[in-house]
Amino acid sequence: MDLLLGAVVLGVLLGCFYAAVSVGLSVSFGLLDVPHVAHPAFLVLASYGVYQLNESYDIDPLLAGLAITPLFFVFGLLAYRVYYETFERRGSDAAVRGIAFFFGIAFIIEVLIILQFGVDQRSVSATYIGKSWRFGEFRIPIRQLVAFAVALALTVLLAVYLSKTFMGRAIRAVAQDEEALRLMGANPVRIKQFAFGIATAVLGIAGALLIIVAPVEPTLDRAYIGRTFCVVVMAGLGSISGTLIAAIILGVAESIVLTLFGASWAPAISFAMLLGVLAVRPQGLLGR
Amino acid sequence: MKRRTFLGGAMAVAVVGHGSSALAQQPPIKIGMSMPQTGGLAGGGKASLLGIEIWRDDVNAKGGLLGRKVELVVYDDKSSASETPAIYAKLVDVDKVDLLFAPYATVPTAPIMPFVKQRGLLLMGNFSFQVNSKVGHDMWFNNAPWGPADSWAASFLDLAQKAGGKNMALLTADQEFAQNLALTARDVAKKRNIPIVFDQVYPPNTVEFSSIIRALKAAKPDIVYVASYPPDSAGILRAVNEIGIGDSVKIFGGGMVGLQFAAVMSNLGSLLNGVVNYNTWLPEKSMYFDGTKEFFDKYTKRAVEAKVDPLGYYLAPFGYAMGQMIEAAVGATKSLDQKGIAKYLRENEHKTIVGSIAFSADGERKETATLQAQFRGVKDKDIEQFRSSGRQVILFPDKLKTGELISPFEAARNLGLVAFPAQGQGGT
């Protein structure tokens, strides 16, 4: 019973972390329909940015994540503009060619990281890494509590931004009917570009959480492609609160399987759950 | 596939003087290999290649082999098993290399074994584990110190049983190398009637090990044998530190890949304390042979430029030793006849910078020289500390031993720097 309870608690923490690394993709892929397979590569790039600031200036990883957020916003604006000019504007098979574009970007990022930092693992130091909180026999790693709190705040903030602010509602509008927006005199491309910038900026914080939770290496993005897309699709495309719920379900399921049934089943669980959810609700948990 | 031909040795040859013109006139002896320079094995691959390059430069400075310059033909195999068969076919049929070295590690090497056997080619193995056990190629010689397949687990369990360990937990990565280790560990445990109370195989890309370590702790094992890969080794040790592993554990570690590399060791710092793990070379007094110190002097300088592991203990000296064995065999047989070289390698003992090497019929070491060493007194964020002796005390094999096991594991972890001051520079 203790083991099960522990697995659930650790699963919720892990799930919130999964939400943080997936929420940007929920905007770029879920709302904007951009086949952003380079999302995990952007995430790893952000982790290396955080590592560099932590290593060189001893800045706390979370503050470092916050510091690189504006840079990632600009990076997102540029990436979308290139994608739009070279693919989206040109026609109906943009999505297929877009996948090739973003795969290319992911490989370029991977190679650039290798050239700059080498192939070795990198990690950061902070007072909350490597320690745990004790409740009797039960211990929770503090780094996971930090990741949980920040991830929760990040997801809630993004959800509020998209539902309450003018720009947020414009982003949702462009996701629902781009043509209608154009008829009303708004420029959907600029709104989508801004939204892609937001989705990329969020990765500054998510990248900090990634390197806080575990060391990173240049090819780590490959480990997150399946998980992040699984969370976003299971959530229902574009649903931020759905992303949080789906990620927590996935985290708890993985943790229970790891603890009680054997670690080798853990990777299967995310896709088994995805298939299960899509069979019952093809639009995802909170999709419309 | 990008070809990289290494001609750096030519510069060294140019300054040799008298013999250099004769050396320059003859075609070079080409040694071909693939090496992981990107992907998961790249850290090791680059360090191994640097060791081989240092040998190439040394041998060329001495006049080459058979009066001919040595040239390396190297391709990046991206750490992938699917790349190596085509690369080795190209090396043999297009590049027409004279000799072959294997890439670093088991996974890229395994698929080329049938090819070299079919063609009757000599292959110098580079740290793969048991790739020849089923192929049975008689021209395969592994530079790694592994020895007989079960010796790795046996040495760890010897230490564990001496410390009072009676049951075992097994935590292994779902990957060929780790599974081979796990297989032998299960066999040895069965022969010794050591019950296995926890046996989990975790998949690659496992993000968080807290749940697994909690389950392992609940099984209350005496011995914890871990066969993990670099990204996971760090995650496992972090989780052990945070969740705890229980007072019952007498010994922890065994087959954790990654704890041999400077970046990982530096990242983990004090989390390493108490862990008993395998290694191949350490800066302890018993590990210095003819040329070892000179090799590390060169390696330490060149590693900075090449951006590879600054310590280079695990693979680089064995890359150099692989070259030394070829140098001795070609020198003795005075030819590049691969059968003759193989016969010489099989029948003789070879002096190298990592000690004497003798091969058994399967091309592995006759006796294991795989070290089991315990981390002690390691502090955080300091790569230089690992150049000192005393940071990894050798517990096995007996002839190289430099200390005794400290057990139980929690006690060993909690012993700090005060108990284990560094014992001076190891000479690297």
Give chain A positions within 8 Å (CB) of B379: none
Of B2-6, B273-277, B281-285, the range with the lowest mean pLDDT is B2-6
Q: B135 and B184 share a domain?
A: no
pLDDT of residue B234: 85
Q: What is the pLDDT of residues A94-121, one digit of tens each?
A: 667 788 889 999 999 999 998 888 777 8
pLDDT of residue B141: 98
Give the pairing type, strands B3-6 and B168-173.
unpaired
pLDDT band at B421 (very low <50, low <70, confident <90, very high): very low
Q: Is the pLDDT of residue B10 over 50?
A: no
The domain in which residue A220 lies consists of 2-280
Q: B107 and B198 share a domain?
A: no
Distances from the Cα of B246 to the Cα of A100, A130, B156, B242, angstroms:
49, 17, 19, 12
Q: B345 and B378 share a domain?
A: no
pLDDT band at A274 (very low <50, low <70, confident <90, very high): confident
Provide the token pair at A53: 């600031």
Residue B364 domain-assigned (yes or no): no
Q: Torsion angle of alpha carbons B328, B108, B134, B193, nearest 10°?
A: 100
Q: B275 and B395 share a domain?
A: yes
The minimal CB distance from B235 to the residues A114, A214, A255 is found for A214
Q: How many residues would you count in chain B?
A: 428
Give chain B positions within 8 Å (CB) of A142: 242
Domain count, chain A: 1
Instruction: Please state the rounded mean pLDDT for residues B229-258.
Output: 89
pLDDT band at B307 (very low <50, low <70, confident <90, very high): confident
pLDDT of residue B360: 95
Q: B64 and B134 share a domain?
A: yes
**A266-275 burial string, b = 16+ CB within 10 Å, else e?**
bbebbeebbe
Q: What is the pLDDT of residues B158-195, one digit of tens each?
A: 999 999 999 999 999 988 788 888 999 999 999 999 99
Residue A17 domain-assigned (yes or no): yes
Instruction: Please state the rounded mean pLDDT for residues B407-425.
Output: 65
A260 to chain B, any CB pair closer than 8 A? The answer is yes
Instruction: State whether B211 and A217 contact (CB < 8 Å).
Output: no
A263 to chain B, any CB pair closer than 8 A? The answer is yes
Q: What is the pLDDT of residues B67-105, one digit of tens each?
A: 999 999 999 998 889 999 999 999 999 999 999 999 998
- In B334-409, beta strands by DSSP E: 350-352, 355-357, 371-375, 392-396
What residues contact residue A73 under an 8 Å CB cut-off, 6+ apart? A197, A198, A200, A201
What residues contact residue B36 under an 8 Å CB cut-off, 6+ apart? B42, B44, B45, B76, B77, B78, B79, B103, B104, B105, B108
B212 to chain A, any CB pair closer than 8 A? The answer is yes
Residue B270 domain-assigned (yes or no): yes
| ipTM topping 0.90 | no
Q: B247 and B376 share a domain?
A: yes
Q: What is the pLDDT of residues A219-254, one digit of tens each?
A: 899 889 988 999 999 998 888 999 999 999 999 998
Provide the token pair at B85: 């068969």
Q: Note which residues in 107-166 of chain A have CB less than 8 A from chain B.
A: 111, 114, 118-123, 125, 130-132, 139, 141-144
pLDDT band at B24 (very low <50, low <70, confident <90, very high): low
Give chain B positions within 8 Å (CB) of A143: 242
pLDDT of residue B11: 39
Residue A286 domain-assigned (yes or no): no
Give chain A positions within 8 Å (CB) of B244: 139
Q: What is the CATH number of the domain that holds B82?
A: 3.40.50.2300
pLDDT of residue B427: 33
Q: B22 and B157 share a domain?
A: no
Residue B220 domain-assigned (yes or no): yes
pTM to 2 decimals?
0.81
Q: What angle do CA B257, B261, B267 make, to 5 degrees?
A: 100
Cβ atoms B26, B68 nearer than 8 A:
yes
Q: Is the pLDDT of residue B23 over 60?
A: no
User: What's the mean per-residue pLDDT of chain B?
Assistant: 89
Q: Is the pLDDT of residue B419 over 80?
A: no
3 state SS of B157? helix
Residue A90 domain-assigned (yes or no): yes
Q: Is the pLDDT of residue B418 over 60?
A: no
The domain in which residue B242 lies consists of 151-285+370-414
Instruction: Please state the rounded mean pLDDT for residues B28-43.
Output: 90
Domain count, chain B: 2
Q: How many residues would you count in chain A?
A: 288
Selection from B298, B4, B345, B380 nearest residue B141 by Cα: B345
What residues contact residue A280 under an 8 Å CB cut-off, 6+ apart? none
Provide the token pair at A89: 């504007």
Instruction: Please state the rounded mean pLDDT for residues A169-194.
Output: 87
Q: B341 and B389 share a domain?
A: no
pLDDT of residue A80: 92
Beta bridge partners of B201: B172
How far is it, in rounded angstroms, from Cα A85 to Cα A64? 32
Q: B136 and B281 share a domain?
A: no
How far is it, in rounded angstroms, from Cα A244 to Cα B199? 33
**Percentage of residues in chain A with pLDDT exceeding 70?**
98
Q: Is the pLDDT of residue B425 over 50?
A: no
The minimal CB distance from A267 to the residues B203, B262, B264 is found for B203
Residue A274 domain-assigned (yes or no): yes
Q: What is the pLDDT of residues A10-26, one digit of tens each?
A: 899 999 999 999 999 99
**Percentage of residues in chain B with pLDDT exceeding 70?**
91
Q: What is the CATH number of the domain that holds A184?
A: 1.10.3470
pLDDT of residue A232: 92
The radius of gyration of chain A's CA atoms, rounded to the nearest angstrom, is: 19
Residue B164 domain-assigned (yes or no): yes
pLDDT of residue B297: 96
B46 to chain A, any CB pair closer than 8 A? The answer is yes
Q: B227 and B165 share a domain?
A: yes
